[in-house]
Amino acid sequence: MKNVEVTVLRYDPDEDESPKYQSFPIEAKKNMTVLDSLFLIVEDQDPTLSFRCACRLGMCGSCGMLINGRGRLACRTKIEELGDKITVQPMRNQTVIKDLSVNMDNFFTNMEKVKPYFVPKEDTDEFSIIPPSSGRREIIDENQDCITCGLCYQSCDAVAIRGNDFIGPAALSRAYNLIADERDGAREERLDLVTEEDGAFGCHSFGACVEVCPKGIKPMVTIQKIKMKKIKRSLGLKW
């Protein structure tokens, strides 16, 4: 057991004039996560604390928040890695619904913009299954592990500067997977969609998305590949 102070940025837009910090002392057990500590606060100290979670396994992507200033999944962040004082804030670049729960509509609207689904080619006999061992498979394996937690989006300075119309790292990564898939019938259209004003060329390569991704995906690198594909296509080269 260790005594830890968890400080949460509280805000209820319907009740409060402005956000304010509130501290909760807790007794942390070994291997306790930040998400566990939030549940403990709800059970023992303040049942009105709001946050979002579902799987508690790092799979559903719903417990993203700023923990000691860095975007992390609360269910995969152990208290013992953080010290005796922990500060928890809602994700950036999104509107707070209450406390640590944010409205992710802009994130998912941007995901929809890139047509994040496979479009079969018409009139083709091309074999649709790519063997796992093939080099073609490696290209489209990239980014498949994304759990749409929004941590890359909340960390993105281009979103902060340009606003929520900027498509953002997760949606661009998803788009790249389909653009790089030679079986996809909407590659051309998708490449144009993601290289318009609010697309890949709006990325300034700050790299925060790479730092925070809990799945080790590198959206910034992927976005550079989208830019290269667009340039190659403009020059009439194979892309």
Both tokens of 75, joined, read 């269910």
* Contact window for ligand FES (CB under 6 A) among 55-63, 136-144, 160-168, 203-211: 55-63
- Least Cβ distance, residue 195 to ligand FES (angstroms): 31
CB of 63 to ligand FES, least distance (A): 3
CA–CA gap between residue 56 and residue 67 (Å, rounded): 16
59 binds ligand FES (CB under 6 A): yes
Stretch binding ligand FES (CB under 6 A), from 19-27, 53-61, 172-180, 223-231: 53-61
Closer Cβ to ligand FES, 9 or 59, answer by number:
59
- Taking the least distance from each CB to ligand FES, the nearer of 31 and 133 is 31
User: Which span (8-16, 50-58, 99-107, 219-227) binds ligand FES, by CB under 6 A?
Assistant: 50-58
Measure CA 127 to chain center. 33
For 188-225, letters b (16+ CB in 10 Å) and e give eebbebbbeebbbebbeeeebbbebbbbebbbbebbeb
Q: How many residues does the chain have?
A: 239
Question: What's the alpha-carbon Rg for the chain, to the nearest Å?
Answer: 20
Interface contacts to ligand FES, rule CB under 6 A: 53-56, 58-63, 73, 75
